[in-house]
Amino acid sequence: MTKFVIFTLALLLLSTDVNCGKKAKKDWVKAYVEDRISAFEQKLKEQTHAAHAIGFTAEVSAMDVHYTVQLATILFDRVKVNVGDAYNPTTGIFVAPYAGMYVFTVTGTSKWGKTVTLELTVDGNRVAHIYSDSKNSGSYNSGTKTYVQELEKGSQVSVKMGAWINNYDLHGNGLTSFTGFLLDRY
């Protein structure tokens, strides 16, 4: 639609009387139209890229992990995808590059015969619990939660060991994961 409007304006300019030769007028209009189309395409590309360029999935790679304190930040060290590089596997923290609406999914897998609780935190505040109980099942069990959260630019999101069960054993091996992506940029 915008290309059509620019093209129509160019035709109108060509049909008006300008104090220059016909070839010079055509060259000027052509350069102007090409410049406007290029600027529009660049702006559209930046908006589209920015709106869809944030997302990550990371997993705990170790078979079994024992944390020694509650609320320890879990390090999802096996990064599968990290578009926009907003997730840091060294710290286990996702930093929002833009204000907007984000979606996070956390899957926590308890070790055989154990119970595990995890907490999704935003700027240090718990926003969701994830619970998995393998005590009586004779196998590994997983708990998953998907959470939609508004974030400000610079907000920090992480997953921590839960504070309400004194068991800090987690089964990894790719079965405990943390995923997040930008749904809508403000």
Residue 84: the pLDDT is 93
What are the tens digits of pLDDT across the range 11-43?
555 555 555 556 666 677 677 777 777 777 777
CA–CA separation, 54 and 48 (whole Å): 11
Whether the model clears a pTM of 0.85, i.e. scores above it, the answer is: no
Residue 113: the pLDDT is 75
CA–CA separation, 131 and 46 (whole Å): 40
CA–CA separation, 152 and 150 (whole Å): 7
**What is the pLDDT tens value at each position of the chain, 186 positions in all?**
556 555 555 555 555 555 555 666 667 767 777 777 777 777 776 665 555 689 999 999 987 776 666 778 999 999 999 999 999 999 999 999 999 999 999 998 887 777 888 899 999 999 998 888 777 777 777 888 999 999 999 999 999 988 766 666 777 778 889 999 999 998
Selected from 2.40.50.180, 3.40.50.300, 3.30.430.20, 2.60.120.40, the CATH number assigned to the domain covering 54-185 reads 2.60.120.40
Instruction: Kindly state the tokens that stand for 62.
Output: 């170790």
In the chain, domain spans: 2-51, 54-185
| Complete DSSP assignment for 127-156 | EEEEEEE-TTTSS-EEEEEEEEEEE-TT-E
Residue 137: the pLDDT is 72
| Eight-class DSSP state of 90 | T
